[in-house]
Structure 1
Amino acid sequence: MRELRVIGLEPDGSHVVCADASTGEKFRLPADDKLRAASRGDIARLGQIEIEMDSQLRPREIQARIRAGASVEQVADEAGIPLAKVERFAYPVLLERSRAAEMAQGGHPVRDNGPAVPTLAEIVTQAFRARGHNIDDAAWDAWRDEDNHWVAQLQWQAGRTTNAAHWRYQPDAHGGTIVALDDTAFDLIDPDFGRPLRGLAPVASDEPEQLELAEFPTEVEVPTIEPEEIIEADVTEEPEDEPASPEEPAAPKIAPHQTNNKDKRGKPALPSWDDVLLGVRSSGR
């Protein structure tokens, strides 16, 4: 690299005249903002001028796109410039978005009866826990919409499905208010945490990606147990004694109450009132 030295300006002041110290060959450089920034050592101004010259987007336009929710990669592809040149101006805006997302988590969701006492982060954490998800696997983000309002986003992965919920965040002295912008965001702040979130329950079938709600019965019929019918054994009557043959004498008959003092079921017979009051047994003894 050859070294040049400045020897003067052209009469109109549009160019700086330089010369090679060894050969005396002269050169000229345009006296523009880029040269002035380089002479002052203003690196930031040099980068800004370089972006303005290399792309159709100015630094303010790059920051406006980032603030509106675009990523650094998207802006770099659109402008056709390296990522490093976009990151230089996107960094402060990304910090602003991160701060807005953190503040939105401390806002209070607006319901039918007014703002809720718990914060958005507390309610969403309970909703995730009730549905078997981990809030640590989700990512928060925020950006400004066309009306210059902050929009907070919560994005998470459930199986092969990417879910996202969006709320409008309005800052105030009490932490701010949160208003749901889509059905997923409304479901997450709904007091009924036990209801399954749409698109999160996979169904086993031949077709992949098919999702539906898992339904569970709310009432379970408990079968009633009928009392068992007690069937008493029939007591068969003793057959009448056949008349004795004339050759064999008939056996003497024994009164039922004299047979070991037991009834037909084999239990001891209870004495009658006469036996108790007079002290006389039924047998006459």
Structure 2
Amino acid sequence: MQDLRLVGVHDDGEHLLLSGAGGEMFQLPIDEALRAASRSSAKAVSAAAPISMSPRDIQSRIRCGATAAAVAELSGLPLAKVERYEGPVLAEREYVAQQARKVEVASPSPAHDTYRSVFGDNPASLNDMVNHRLSAHGIEPSTVEWDSWRRQDGNWTVAARFETTKDGTSGIGEEPPALWTFSPARKSLQNTNRWAQQLSELEPLDGPVPARRLTAVSDRPFDFETDAEAAAARHSTGPQAVPQSRESDGLLDMLRSRRGQRLGVDEDADDALALLLTHGVPAAHPRPSEVVPEPETRSPESREQQYREPDIRGAAPA
């Protein structure tokens, strides 16, 4: 095969001029095939250069969710070399997912018969609740694949991947996986999408979230540790300390039993809690029967008459 070199472009602009080793001249038409070949070659030349990565960089990317294949392609390293560093990181991701699955998402309530029929008197972890809810959706819990990866803010995204049934997403409106945001330091979970909400809350499958009867409360969030003790102290002081101490104990017991329970599941229990929290708080507009009349005050003239000294100028001598 004879080698040719590019000399230039023909005056007509439609051909390339080429020369051979012996000085022979050739011309090559500039057609669509040549243009396509030149474009693909330009893309290959302009492709991003491989990124130099240390073992720590490789593990950092895998910890944030990248696959070994993606890191190998980005770094230009052989896949086998990248896989040498992914083992410990994959074990870390699995461990974080296991810790998230142990987080308590619901606790038993005396008035919640549905909860007791499923979990008894034990608190429900995320893993327990997800398994129950998947079964209710007709999905085998053993098919779930759990994973996690680190976010830029230091928290972790926890994912539960599974295959849905034919009509499994009709009432949810999105495809799996279910995603949560997990804080290992606080052992707290937050729903990230609709699937996470469906799988981590005990509620009717097809029914909407029940409407709540609202009670006016303070616009400050209720803190269990601080406000519960303060409420108990308020109820246990004053002339009626003995009967109100029982109410304080009942308030603390109810707050502890409802920890982790979602509002709206048991309206009667919610109303009972609201009644205990607002006990003793005066109403903004009391009923007429509750208004205590102020004591009648004397007029300035009467007070002046009361303290006026007797007039003895016209009195007869004794």
* Greater share of strand: 1
Q: Tell me which structure has the larger Cα radius of gyration.
A: 1
Tell me the TM-score range normalised by the shorter chain.
Answer: 0.3 to 0.5
Whose relative contact order is higher, 1 or 2, with alpha carbons under 8 Å and at least 6 apart?
2
> TM-score scaled to structure 2, two decimals?
0.40
> TM-score scaled to structure 1, two decimals?
0.44
